[in-house]
Structure 1
Amino acid sequence: MDGINLGLWILVADWAIRIVALAWIPLRTRPAAARSWLLLIGFVPLLGLPLYLLLGHPWLSRERVRRQAEASAAVRDGQAPQAALRWCPAEGTVAGEAVPLVERLGAFMPVRGNGVALLDDYDASLARLLADIDAATHRVHLLYYLMFDDAVGEAVADALERAAARGVRCRLLLDAMGAKRGLRRYARRLRRAGVEVHAMLPGGLRWRRSGRADLRNHRKIAVIDDDVAHVGSQNLADALFVPGHPNRELVARVHGPIVAHLEAVFASDWYLETGEVLEVAPARPTHADDVACQLLPSGPAYPFPNAGDTIATLIHLARRRVVLTTPYFVPDDAILGAMRIAALSGVEVQLILSASNNQRLTALAQHASYEELLACGVKIALHRPRFLHAKHMSVDDDIALVGSINLDIRSFALNAEIGLLCYDPRVVARMRAVEAAYLADAEAVDLAEWRRRPRWRRSLEGIARLADSFM
């Protein structure tokens, strides 16, 4: 009798979980993700519900959301006295339609008078960063997702120690999960040298003050002396920090008013983590190259998916050619739809991915999109021999986007990211040269050959695509 009662209670609990999940999850989660969670809970309710409670909703603490809103308001107010630096695109152009959207989403106006150098040599880019730190006279601010305990991490720590010894005010923000090894190795040492070090989104016993455990700050920003800044995809680690996957990156080294805007992003993240308000210096005099630039910050603290909305819009607005470079391609329906419509409308859409991938589930999930894209005319190229970790985009001959944003759901919904938009044909031409170098060492994916892959492989790809929607 007891066994019958126990079985009945398990059956009732089983169905109660399913019914509650059906009524509750769609109210809190994106439709695609909700379908995936309901499918999992429908199969294994007693496992699916705890997983959803832990990872199902990308919540962030109210305090962080409030601080981000305050920081964004401060950014808008701080730009008001600098109206003379505003760049105004011509009406009816792609930039003319994109600029207002980016400004409303991320709070940053486009500014003229910048210098932009694209650095695609891994070691040379790091050497340039270290040289800039060594030349600092009053301030060094570094914000990075990953700092490894290797030769590069050691070199950066040494440079910060030298700067602090000269009286330079040094601050270092590192993601608590991505830079765990770097924080463990260098945090105490750097603090003893006078460097202010903080871990972002620390979790642990402090999780209620941060958010869901896998929300991360994925930005890579360095600001030195209010004069020069670096922004892009490159972390503070050796190119081979993932064995077997030597990274290839792209970083923009910038001068001009945009440096003050990158400083404002650092100050915002510093405020989110510490509650301390940093003074952001006014924008410096303009650079002779006169490149128009605009920042695109995004992340779960913002009310909208800034990165995803902007990239989808740029694809829709393109008139001739779009090139997208990313290591992780698991986009949402909006990005897939934009790429499909652009290609079918006659726009050349080129997707450049890495032939190797250090995340197997992601690799399977992105394969699930290839056939649909190839069938509508999107070109897909797989780059070898390095792991192409660069993240950038070019639109027609006028707009380049470079930063930390991957074309995946994680970057759009879970990570704090940064993108630099350059509205300048010269920067786009330099990015086209970088893209051409990728394509020279890449193999095009052929639709007919791709369709011949085994059925079991297609099934795995479909399952992986569903699993990536769990958020």
Structure 2
Amino acid sequence: MLPTPGEAYYIAEWVIRLIMLAIVPLRRSPTAAASWLLLIFFLPVPGLILFLAIGSPRFPRWRAARFERLRPFFAIVTAKLQQAAPTDTSDITELAERLGYLPAVGGNHIELLTDYDGMIDGLVADIDGARDHVRILAYIFADDATGRTVITALGRAVRRGVTCHVLIDPVGSYRWIRNTLRLLEAEGVHVRAALPFRLLRGRTRRDMRNHRKLFIVDGRVGYSGSQNIVARDFRPGVTNRELVVRVTGPLVAAMSAVFVADWFLETETMLADMVDIPESRGPSALQVLPSGADYPKGGFSTLLTWQIGQAESEIVLVTPYLIPDEGLLGALRTAVLRGVDVRIIVSAVADQWLVRLAQESFYTELLARGIHIHRYRDFLLHAKSVRIDRRLGIVGSSNVDIRSFQLNEEVSLLLFDQHALDELQTIQRDYINGSDEVSLEAWRERGRLRKLAENVARLVSPLL
């Protein structure tokens, strides 16, 4: 006797549960596996469909093979950088080079930019001065007034004979992607979607995003940080504050290498002037650290966790999204026990409520361990930076959360010289002055429903 449709569906649900119980732990970390299995056990069919679409934290084999073809390219860039702009190495720079394939280099001039609209104006001015090429990689590239200002500048550059390439993440830019692509193509810009979602042949995992922000002009000027190409108040009621590093000097070649690699991964086309090394412009030694599934050794999270473990006096983390893994939590707890002053600056203004609830579920544990938490008022503090003692600063696109650690393609700039570290310290102190410090006693007084919502959000945080 054949089962009824209801019985068949019931059987199928249990088959899905049992099969996925064997498969999921092999493809995800224990924390992520627990969240996926919770979803699948409660909603087997929707959970299975979602897992098949975005459940793997690895790229398809064809992309890994394509990245392997880039190894000689990185070796050539590294050799030329080391010859043109050598700098003293340390255990930090050596590990970062193993993780991201690019060395630390000297001879750079940097500016730390906190003026949102001023950064856009500066980028447009640099594009207007371009003579050879412009390369832009953005997580969000909108077709609003801010985006059109950049698009128009790119069009002017194209008409002067400048070659322009743009990569855009289609999930980050989902509200604007179609029109932005149309406008860029109409201006003669070479444009591609980064990590496009395809259901079948050649597909990439949509849960994995290119979250980098890299803006490069003539291989001589490079911008990197947290800021996208969109109005600072593109979310109603939310105004972003950002931090971007503008670099001139040999390091721009390393920044270009990251863009060239990403363009090749999407198109299998190598850009012609890929290893041009700019002349020295200043005293700063810097290093580019790309991270993500293409760089499978942990990248930013590996370096950050290790350096927190090495800290002697002070750690300052600035991030809008704080969902630490166990390794990072353990390193922070141990740092406090060693007498290190640990301060985390987050945003009181939220743009993603589920992420905020998951983040706040960690506050009691962090505060009880002696870690200071500062909540920045009035603006969404979207900037991402780290300062450890007086020896390492990090500014980039990576948040301190599981998504940035495991799923997103990110890029960070490592700062080593004292002038840059002092300037970063001044910016971070300004953040603290504009923040309210969270008290453990007051935090424990929040309502039970709030605590329940936080704990539920924490259960699904590996999926966010």
For normalisation by structure 1, the TM-score amounts to: 0.94
Partner of 2:66: 67
Output the CA distance in 2 between the equivalents of 1:82 and 1:29: 37
Output the CA distance in 1 between the equivalents of 2:438 and 2:413: 29
Deviation at 1:281, TM superposition (A): 3.4
Cα deviation 1:365-407 (Å, max 9, x = unaligned): 0001111111111110000111100011111112110010011
Output the CA distance in 2 between the equivalents of 1:394 and 1:9: 57
Task: Extract unaligned runs of 5+ from structure 2.
Answer: none
Partner of 1:93: none
Contact 2:76 2:275 in 1 (8 A): no
Deviation at 1:18, TM superposition (A): 2.7
Q: 1:72 to 1:446 in 2, by over 3 A?
A: farther
Contact 1:173 1:200 in 2 (8 A): yes
Cα deviation 1:61-117 (Å, max 9, x = unaligned): 22222222322441123322443323223xxxxxx2222221111101111111111
Contact 2:165 2:190 in 1 (8 A): yes
Cα deviation 1:244-274 (Å, max 9, x = unaligned): 1100000000011110000111100110111
Output the CA distance in 2 between the equivalents of 1:62 and 1:162: 40
Task: Extract unaligned runs of 5+ from structure 1.
Answer: 90-95
Tell me which stretches of 4 or more aligned residues in structure 1 moved more than 6 Å. Answer: none
Secondary structure of 1:434's counterpart equals: helix
Secondary structure of 1:216's counterpart equals: coil
Secondary structure of 1:469's counterpart equals: helix
Partner of 1:296: 289
Contact 1:140 1:223 in 2 (8 A): yes
Matched, 1:417 2:410: yes
Output the CA distance in 1 between the equivalents of 2:239 and 2:71: 37
Secondary structure of 1:419's counterpart equals: strand
Partner of 1:238: 231
Partner of 1:38: 37
Deviation at 1:6, TM superposition (A): 6.2
Partner of 2:123: 129
Cα deviation 1:38-66 (Å, max 9, x = unaligned): 22333333343333222322232222222
Output the CA distance in 1 between the equivalents of 2:120 and 2:144: 13
Output the CA distance in 2 between the equivalents of 1:159 and 1:242: 24
Contact 2:81 2:105 in 1 (8 A): no
Residue of 440, 456, 459 corresponding to 2:433: 440
Q: Amino acid of the residue matched to residue 140 of structure 2?
A: L
Taking only aligned residues, the RMSD between alpha carbons, in angstroms, comes to: 1.8
Partner of 1:101: 95
Deviation at 1:301, TM superposition (A): 2.0
Q: 1:17 to 1:253 in 2, by over 3 A?
A: same
Q: Amino acid of the residue matched to residue 215 of structure 2?
A: A
Secondary structure of 2:140's counterpart equals: coil
Partner of 2:266: 273
Q: Amino acid of the residue matched to residue 94 of structure 2?
A: P
Q: Amino acid of the residue matched to residue 68 of structure 1?
A: F
Q: 1:82 to 1:49 in 2, by over 3 A?
A: closer
Contact 2:55 2:207 in 1 (8 A): no
Partner of 1:169: 163
In the comparison of the two structures, how many residue pairs are matched? 462
Partner of 1:194: 188
Deviating more after overlay: 192-201 vs 318-327: 192-201
Q: Amino acid of the residue matched to residue 86 of structure 2?
A: R
Q: 1:73 to 1:337 in 2, by over 3 A?
A: farther
Contact 1:330 1:409 in 2 (8 A): yes
Partner of 1:114: 108
Partner of 1:88: 88
Partner of 1:92: none
Q: Amino acid of the residue matched to residue 99 of structure 2?
A: L
